Amino acid sequence: MSDVFNALAHPVRREILKLLRDGAVNAGDIAAHFDLAKPTLSGHFTVLKTAGLVTTERRGTTILYRLNMSVMEEAVAALLSLTENGEGEKKWKFVRRSS
């Protein structure tokens, strides 16, 4: 979980995750959103991938980055576990909508 929070700790990486909310995006299109050199973005991709927050799929010459929802869910659960002591009533309820 350290890798996950570490990945979330950089504003550029959080912005990358937001770009992936509505579907997979290729590395070049992501890089175009930032005033940073491509190798720098590639490094950020590696951090996100190491944390498991994104997955990749080669699509011809480009590489698609996709959000890994299950790891995002685990991060929320880990965050909640820091405040819930397990004994007695839970203070929070966090559920995926069934539809």
Partner DNA sequence: TTGTTATTTAGCAAATAACCGAAATACGTG
Partner DNA sequence: CACGTATTTCGGTTATTTGCTAAATAACAA
Q: Checking DSSP bridges between strand 54-59 and strand 25-26, what pairing results, if any?
A: unpaired
Contact partner, 66, from DNA, its own copies, none, Cβ < 5-8 Å per class: none
SS3 13: helix
Residue 70 binds its own copies, judged by CB under 8 A = no
SS3 88: coil
Whether the CB-CB separation of 52 and 68 falls below 8 Å is answered with: yes
Residue 80 binds its own copies, judged by CB under 8 A = yes
Q: Which of residues 29-58 bind DNA (CB under 7 A)?
A: 29, 31, 35-47, 56, 58
Q: Contact residues for DNA (CB under 7 A)?
A: 6, 9-10, 12, 26-29, 31, 35-47, 56, 58, 60-63
